[in-house]
C-alpha cells in the first residue's frame, strides 16, 4: 500500500459526491429551463400559425 495519499473518510467521500451531484442537477435544471422556454415559444408560434 502507498502511504503518500491521505486517508479519505467515508463522510468526506459522500460530501464530495453529493457536491458533484448538486452541480450536475443544477446544470440539468438550467438546461431544463432553457428547453421548456424553447418549447413554450414553439407552442406560441404554432398557435399563431393554426389560428
Give the predicted TM-score (pTM) of the model: 0.36
What DSSP line would sit under 1-51, residue for residue?
Answer: ---SSPPPPHHHHHHHHHHHHHHHHHHHHHHHHHHHHHHHHHHHHHHHHH-
Instruction: Report pLDDT for 3.
Output: 61
Residues 10-51: pLDDT tens digits? Answer: 778 788 778 888 788 778 777 777 778 888 888 888 787 765
Which band of pLDDT confidence, cut at 50, 70 and 90, is reported for residue 5? low
What is the dihedral angle through the alpha carbons of 7, 10, 11, 15, rounded to the nearest 10 degrees? 90
Instruction: Report pLDDT for 47.
Output: 80
Which band of pLDDT confidence, cut at 50, 70 and 90, is reported for residue 4? low
Grid cell, residue 10, equals: 467515508
Amino acid at each position: 500500500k502507498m502511504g503518500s495519499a491521505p486517508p479519505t473518510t467515508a463522510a468526506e467521500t459522500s460530501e464530495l459526491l453529493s457536491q458533484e451531484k448538486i452541480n450536475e442537477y443544477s446544470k440539468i435544471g438550467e438546461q431544463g429551463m432553457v428547453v421548456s422556454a424553447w418549447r413554450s415559444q414553439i407552442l406560441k408560434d404554432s398557435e399563431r400559425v393554426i389560428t
